[in-house]
């Protein structure tokens, strides 16, 4: 199937939101993306939210720490920045804007020209502000939280924020919110440098059509393309699989480090 990863991502994203929304599924998953309980026994917390809470209070809640550390380990060692493409509902909005932008040949406005590194400045600014203000700043004003809670609890605020995000990505700058401004994406990028799940590139199969770079929302991660074979090691890769889907040469594929063969 040509768009199998796109389909799987949509099933995952919508499925997670549906589980949060349906009270009949509380035994599977309840809460929200910041704090949830899986199978009525496993607590999961957003490690970025926990870091803000810790800096705001300097108190160590052991239970909260363990639940945040568990999520941290999952993404840091295994999934990398996959949260952005497979879990975050904002991805649904920005992808829609991207499809419309591509099909209508819209150009970015000259109003802004944010670089990808801007999100790291925002990330560290939020951590500093959480320490100064003694409250988790991003959790209070997070666009992800507003949209997620709005969908789960059917709040109209989600519609307003979703429209703003959609318009910014459509008319102001391509992938503005997720690729240039979102501190949570920057956080997952920083912790996932050595995650096992990567995309592998085979130069011998590549015909240099560059479809992968055209479709990739973080195309700087594909710097290896046309140069040499190997794993895409840039931690800003969101593991969306779009580059794999458009590659007619089978030069790109997911690769979970194969210890049996001694691959690195």
CB atoms near residue 88 (< 10 Å): 24
Q: How far is CA 19 from the centre of its chain?
A: 19
Residue 217 contacts residue 238 (beta carbons within 8 Å): yes
State the pTM of this model.
0.90
- The single residue listed with the structure tokens 């059509």 is 209
User: pLDDT digit of tens for each residue in the chain (264 aa)?
Assistant: 688 999 999 999 999 999 999 988 889 999 999 999 999 999 999 999 999 999 999 988 899 999 999 999 999 999 999 999 999 999 999 999 988 988 887 776 667 788 889 999 999 999 999 999 999 999 988 999 999 989 988 888 889 999 999 999 999 988 999 999 999 999 999 999 889 999 999 999 999 999 999 999 998 999 999 999 999 989 999 999 999 999 999 999 998 754 334 443
**Rounded to whole angstroms, how far apart are CA atoms 111 and 104?**
20
Residue 177 contacts residue 94 (beta carbons within 8 Å): yes
**Rounded to whole angstroms, how far apart are CA atoms 180 and 177?**
6
């Amino acid at each position: 199937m040509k768009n199998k990863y796109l389909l799987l991502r949509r099933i995952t994203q919508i499925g997670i939101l549906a589980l949060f929304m349906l009270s009949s599924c509380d035994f599977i998953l309840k809460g929200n993306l910041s704090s949830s309980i899986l199978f009525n026994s496993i607590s999961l917390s957003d490690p970025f939210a926990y870091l803000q809470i810790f800096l705001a209070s300097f108190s160590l809640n052991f239970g909260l720490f363990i639940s945040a550390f568990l999520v941290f380990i999952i993404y840091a060692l295994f999934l990398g920045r996959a949260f952005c493409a497979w879990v975050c509902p904002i991805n649904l909005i920005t992808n829609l804007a991207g499809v419309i932008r591509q099909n209508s040949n819209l150009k970015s406005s000259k109003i802004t020209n944010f670089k990808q590194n801007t999100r790291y400045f925002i990330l560290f600014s939020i951590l500093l502000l959480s320490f100064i203000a003694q409250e988790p700043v991003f959790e209070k004003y997070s666009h992800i939280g507003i949209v997620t809670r709005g969908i789960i609890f059917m709040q109209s605020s989600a519609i307003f924020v979703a429209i703003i995000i959609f318009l910014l990505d459509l008319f102001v700058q391509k992938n503005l919110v997720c690729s240039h401004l979102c501190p949570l994406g920057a956080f997952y990028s920083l912790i996932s440098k050595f995650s096992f799940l990567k995309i592998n590139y085979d130069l011998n199969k590549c015909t240099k059509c560059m479809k992968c770079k055209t479709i990739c929302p973080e195309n700087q991660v594909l710097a290896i393309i046309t140069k040499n074979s190997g794993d895409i090691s840039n931690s800003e890769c969101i593991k969306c699989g779009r580059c794999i889907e458009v590659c007619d040469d089978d030069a790109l594929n997911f690769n979970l480090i194969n210890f049996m063969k001694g691959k690195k």
